[in-house]
Structure 1
Amino acid sequence: MSSETTSRGRRARALVTVGLAGLLATVPTLPMTALADTAAELQSAQQAVQEANQACEQADARVEELDAQIEANQDRIDDIEAQLPEAQDRATDSLRTLYKMQQGSGSLVELLLSADNFYELVSTIQYLDVIQSRNSEAVSELVSLTDELALTQASLNAQMDEAEAEKQRADEARDEAEEARDQLKAKIAAQAAAEAAARKAAIEAAQRAAELAAQSEQQTPTFTTESGNDATVEVPDLPDPDLPDPDIVVPGSDKDAFVSEWSARIDAYLAGSPLAGQGTTFAEAAWEYGCDPRLSPAISTVESSTGRVCFLPHNAWGWGSSSWSSWEEAIWAHVAGLAAGYGGQLTYAGAQKYCPPNADAWYASVLANMLSI
């Protein structure tokens, strides 16, 4: 390469860097928590709402159960209340009789002494005992009925009070969970809007940089990747940059269908590169960690021309200072890192973290490659 060509390339890169930096001075910066992280919080909040709803349902069922018990016991309560007047009358008569027997002790003695023989005496004593026993039973029956009524009503009332209190607590917990979920939904909507604005600004900056480079020396604009390589600034072709990416991919529950579709698409994208044939590895790792299956392959293209220019063995992504013994091992490690540190999705905040000096060009170029898979 001639010194003149090298000089032109450096000037072109300088134009790109200056142009992008100036254009992105007002780009909104998202918090480092990725949209996927907030989505995970939303999932947890939704789970809390479901649990709160279940608690409310259980509390409602308990109240209904106690209502049914009260209704079932009402017949017994009505029966007890119906028996009370008669029992009260019997108890009153019995008490009156017992009182008369106690007051007329002299007459009772005379009655006993008037017995003609021992058997008549025994019969008289037994008769008196029966009368007193029946009178005592009448009084005891009244006390027993009154106690049963009071205990039944008190027990059911106490249980109902506790059930109503538990229902109120469950309703309050559900309201709090729903409020937290709604707040997270609003947060996600705000983050999505900020992400869309950041992406639009990054794409416009990449376009302007390409225009500046073309106007100056007709050079293809490049930028320095995290791995230290020079990569071409690519501009994604989006129908509406104002909207969030309509093609965000999140693995579903059907692993076989997901791996089958994306391994074929990634293999077609990787054809002819050192990473050729690794579509299944990328797809399986993406499904396992909940990542967009296009993200890791697209980063490999931006960082190392799809594995052609690796700064460390099998490190096609500018991933720290790591090296691996095989592509399979490297792919699994990289996808796991994207899930843990970047939410498994491409965001502008993630680009600022992955490639801080040239986040704008890196973001636009990775997005352009993802859309081509």
Structure 2
Amino acid sequence: MKRGMGCIVALSLVALCSLAPGLAWADSDWYETAAPVSESEMTELQKQVEQTSAAYDEATAAVEALQSQIDENQKILSQVRRELDAQKDDSAAAMRLMYKMRRNGYGLVDLLVNAEDIGTFIDNWEYLDSIERHNYNLIEHYSQLKATYEETEAELSRQKAEADQRQKDAADALSAAEAAREEAQNRAAKAAQEEASKLAGAGVIDNSVDWSVGRDAFVETWTQRIDAYLAGTPMAGTGRAFAEAAWQYGVDPRWSPAITNTESSNGVHIPGGYNAWGWTDGKGGYRTFSSWEDGARQHVAYLARSYGYTITVSHAQKYCPPNYEWWYSNTLANMMKI
């Protein structure tokens, strides 16, 4: 019968890892005191992955924000262009009218001679003056629009150049992150295989996770595979959270979902708070999460920070010291099902 309550000594009625408060070794008081997890225990390669991944995320966010500004500027430019087209015709007509008036000698004397009375003279003068002022305003407005267009265009060009440079920096950061990630993962998988070979009867994790496909393809592939594995369990439909976190933190995407089987039969037997990993809070209780997805993301990040890329015998000893061989074998077997 599948033992899904996590890290249980077979000949004892005491649940040693998932059920007994204070004895759940995943981040428990006992283990933290005996062998505290420090930053120095993280491999330099894993730190490089995290740093370059963070740099890529930051650069990508900057490019997206800048692109949003560029799109808004494009809307403004489109409106300016439409107004410019309309004002070109109006300004041209205004300039022609002013030219004709001046060429034909329409001045103060002409208006006075041709006026029937002083009232008519004043009306005609105000009318012509208003036409001239209107024409002048049209031309001035056209000039201002043209200046605005040129200024906005120059700013847009500057922002575009900045966006291109940031996009290049983001691409470089991504390439560096992927290269560092692949190197770290290959070394970790090889070390795990070598370590497992020294333990009689221990299975060996394969290195079949393909990180070269890019983020989108990676997430889609592992979302589907993890969803298939968790189908029919309380954690059904959480594959994307696991897959996205695995990519972000450079962890084998099968590891955290498989631990949920070892520790809780995939969320069936839990202490509460969506904690399917037997993960204690270091204070004699258990960590709680707002959802399965929240727990998945936090747990994958924890594995990256405190364990490394994938399952090993030594990681099993650390996660569940009293029954690590069973914990390793069960978790590994479930990883191979995903």
Please indicate, yes or no, whether the TM-score normalized by the shorter chain is above 0.5. yes
Shift of 1:205: 1.5
- Alignment partner of 1:161 is 2:121: no
Instruction: Report what 1:319 is aligned to.
Output: 279
Distance 2:63 2:333 in 1: 34
Provide closer, same or farther for how the CA distance between residues 262 and 288 of structure 1 changes in structure 2, counting only shifts above 3 A.
closer
Distance 1:288 1:243 in 2: 18
Larger relative contact order (CA 8 Å, sep ≥ 6): 2
How many residue pairs get aligned? The number is 272
- Alignment partner of 1:355 is 2:307: yes
Q: 1:337 aligns with which of 295, 311, 314?
A: 295
User: Hey, which of these two has a bigger chunk of helix by percent?
Assistant: 1
Shift of 1:137: 5.4
Distance 1:262 1:243 in 2: 17
Shift of 1:135: 5.2
Instruction: Report what 2:76 is aligned to.
Output: 59
Provide closer, same or farther for how the CA distance between residues 185 and 315 of structure 1 changes in structure 2, counting only shifts above 3 A.
same
Distance 1:243 1:287 in 2: 16
Amino acid at match of 1:296: S
On the 8 A contact 2:263/2:277 being kept in 1, the answer is yes
Distance 2:118 2:254 in 1: 97
Distance 1:242 1:94 in 2: 85
Shift of 1:299: 2.7
Provide closer, same or farther for how the CA distance between residues 316 and 354 of structure 1 changes in structure 2, counting only shifts above 3 A.
farther
Instruction: Report what 1:300 is aligned to.
Output: 260
Q: Could you say what secondary structure the match of 1:172 adopts?
A: helix
What pairs with 1:1-373 in structure 2 (closer than 5 Å)?
A: 28-31=45-48, 33=50, 41=58, 44-45=61-62, 47-85=64-102, 88-94=105-111, 130=116, 132=118, 139-211=125-197, 213=198, 219-220=200-201, 234-238=204-208, 248-250=218-220, 262-266=226-230, 277-278=232-233, 281-287=234-240, 294-300=254-260, 304=263, 317-321=277-281, 322-323=285-286, 333=291, 335-340=293-298, 342=300, 351-355=303-307, 362=315, 370=335, 372-373=337-338
Shift of 1:195: 1.0
Shift of 1:153: 0.9
Give aligned-pair identity as a percent.
Answer: 17
Output the TM-score relative to the length of structure 1.
0.54
Distance 2:190 2:215 in 1: 16
Cα offsets for 1:65-123 (capped at 9, x unmatched): 1221222203431442243225634534456x69xxxxxxxxxxxxxxxxxxxxxxxxx
On the 8 A contact 1:207/1:235 being kept in 2, the answer is yes
Amino acid at match of 1:355: Y
Q: What are the ranges of 5 or more consecutive residues in structure 1 without an aligned counterpart?
A: 1-23, 99-128, 221-231, 253-257, 268-276, 325-329, 344-349
On the 8 A contact 2:260/2:276 being kept in 1, the answer is yes
Q: What are the ranges of 5 or more consecutive residues in structure 2 without an aligned counterpart?
A: 1-40, 247-252, 317-327
Shift of 1:187: 1.4
